[in-house]
A and B are shown apart, each in its own frame.
Chain A
């Protein structure tokens, strides 16, 4: 048997190194685990400082011993290649791993073990954890804002219809496929508007009129994001084309428009839409606050979308334009069939980025008195009966926003894969 060199693990004594390394590693993890979950310090006999670093040192030595390249054991090689390439990486791996172990018990106890959900008043929350009772009691407000309780089914029905209509594309037959763009860009928004106007606003067909000031919560987040996404995209596309136009008038108007909206903070735009804009309108002309806000956000985001799309247009090789022109295509045919399909595909990540930012910007509409999810939270946390639960509220909102945004980013990633082509 060849000599065992502690500092330089080798393949000859693979098993010796492997077992001793794994042994040390498991002791170090066990130590942190027991410390974290049962609050028992198994190295109490060591000085404070040494006791603290004990698992890290043991772990690093353990990882050092099993760092044998091309050992032939699949999992070990995988581990070495991914998280254990050098001492520095081993330390980072251990620290991250320990932080995760350490943070599980407090997070668990706040979220579940010490949390309350029973009861219907502040007094029911006696534990040291989260007070989900608060979310439970306020849930309808968070979802529907000040929309009257007996009428809330109207929002649900409208949303179910909207989601169902959005999936039409999946079931369209071959013959109808070519009308899909038309459907999504023009017909669908109109249907959505009619649905929301007659069902959520009401006022006819025996439905009670609910003014937009009472709308709120997550449903308002959806409504605002939905219309802004739908409007800002075509406007942005036209602006992007306009900025690259050969006609100076169109080019300068586009540049001016884009630079104006990009240079102004969204909060100012919202203020202007609700305070200044009505001053310029004739007195008998009325435009709903929500509509004004949606137009303002759409134009604001359109400027960003325009610049993203322009990036895609510029990334296309000039040969694509030459080829399309040489086949006799005019400006619009060239852009619709050749340039835009390729440019838009290139900018899917950038567009997704802008759209995510848009969704997360919607809470700003509180400045004009519209309270979507985050706005309702702000209202609820100042209610005298429910003081002191800001944390629960914000965690709740964070989770919901994260779910929305993560699904959007997943969707955009799928689109990217779907439309990937080789050059």
Chain B
């Protein structure tokens, strides 16, 4: 647990005049699980979207797996292929079957033979327990099933890092558990994970470190037990008192 896989230094980002990220410094070790929490509009999503450059940062440097994020598109595509992402709104491709959703990128980005890609996809779908739905289309599945498929789709690229952007926020309460279970399993398998979530139960169970963000800054970063038992800043205490 010593090699740095993500290193963010003095990252700043503006949307127009509004500064969303202010001097963010973050280091993530391989196989570390990090939960990012904070009130809405605090820049959590922007932070993790910067890691695979769905958003561009304007100042500072981000190094992912030894590669500096720059304008170079080929470099970005290479990094994106190594960083899986799961979105709040699932974002499955509605015109493709579940299986095709999972095999599309491995076949066309990684040039994997079709047969191999399908075997891998079925294995991943089994892991999240929706292998029996593989021939259906996303619109025919429940929200929880769709989100689990989205996790499987990202895993089919064999990523080194998984980013989760509020994966359970758009789900009905009874479906949250099935998605969290899939994420817990993934964490036990040793994946490097950065999870933006409000599910504090998940954070307590899985996370190595918890980061609390407010107004574009990292207010507090601490080991999980420490974070919940003994928060340092008043802002964190207030947030935790409201959410727990």
Contact = CB atoms under 8 A, between A and B. Distances in A.
A338 B109 CA distance: 13
Which of B95, B109, B138, B139 is the most central at the interface, judged by chain A CB atoms within 10 Å of its CB?
Answer: B95
A325 B163 CA distance: 14
Given A322-B87, A323-B91, A323-B92, A328 B78 contact: yes
A330 interface: yes
Interface string B173-204: 00000000000000000000000000000000
User: What does DSSP make chain A's interface, helix, strand, loop or mixed?
Assistant: helix
Which of A319, A322, A333, A342 is the most central at the interface, judged by chain B CB atoms within 10 Å of its CB?
Answer: A322
A320 B108 contact: no
Contacts of B85: 322-323, 326
B139 A320 contact: no
A341 interface: yes
B139 A326 contact: no
27 contacts: A317-B91, A319-B87, A322-B54, A322-B87, A323-B93, A323-B150, A324-B93, A326-B83, A326-B154, A327-B153, A328-B78, A328-B81, A328-B82, A328-B105, A328-B110, A329-B77, A329-B105, A331-B73, A338-B93, A342-B95, A421-B139, A422-B94, A422-B137, A422-B139, A422-B140, A423-B94, A423-B138
A244 interface: no
Given A325-B54, A326-B80, 13 more contacts: A319-B87, A319-B89, A319-B90, A323-B87, A323-B92, A325-B80, A327-B81, A327-B104, A327-B109, A338-B93, A345-B95, A421-B94, A422-B140
B62 to A, nearest CB: 15
Interface in B33-76: 52, 54, 73
A21 B210 CA distance: 79
A321 to B, nearest CB: 9
Interface string B76-119: 01101111110101111111000000001100111000000000
For the complex of A and B, 5 pairs with smallest distance between CB atoms: A422-B139, A328-B81, A323-B91, A327-B105, A319-B91
Contacts of A338: 93, 104
A337 interface: yes
Contacts of B122: none
Given A333-B109, A345-B95, A328 B157 contact: yes
Contacts of B54: 322, 325-326
Interface residues of A, number: 23
A415 to B, nearest CB: 14
B80 A423 contact: no
Contacts of B84: 326
Nearest to A422: B139
A76 B91 CA distance: 49
Nearest to A323: B91
A322 B137 contact: no
Interface in A304-338: 317, 319-320, 322-331, 333, 337-338
Contacts of A322: 54, 85, 87, 91
A342 B94 contact: yes
A419 B154 CA distance: 26
Nearest to A337: B104
A331 to B, nearest CB: 8
A340 B234 CA distance: 50
Interface in A34-75: none
Interface of B: 52, 54, 73, 77-78, 80-85, 87, 89-95, 104-105, 108-110, 137-140, 150, 153-154, 157
Contacts of B92: 323
A183 to B, nearest CB: 20
B77 A421 contact: no
Contact of A333 (B52, B108, B140): B108
A341 B81 contact: no
Contacts of A326: 52, 54, 80, 83-85, 87, 154
Contacts of A423: 94, 138-139
Contacts of B140: 422
A345 B96 CA distance: 13
A173 B139 CA distance: 28
Contacts of B81: 327-328
Interface in A365-423: 419, 421-423
A320 B93 contact: yes
A327 B157 CA distance: 7
Nearest to B105: A327
Contacts of B150: 323
Contacts of A345: 95
Contacts of B109: 327-329, 333
Nearest to B165: A322
Contacts of B108: 329, 333, 337
Given A322-B87, A423-B139, A327 B95 contact: no
A327 B91 CA distance: 12
A421 B90 CA distance: 16
A327 B154 contact: yes
Contacts of A325: 52, 54, 80
Nearest to A342: B95
A24 to B, nearest CB: 52
A290 to B, nearest CB: 38
Contacts of A422: 94, 137-140
Contacts of A333: 108-109
A269 to B, nearest CB: 36
Contacts of A323: 85, 87, 91-93, 150
Contacts of B95: 341-342, 345, 419, 421
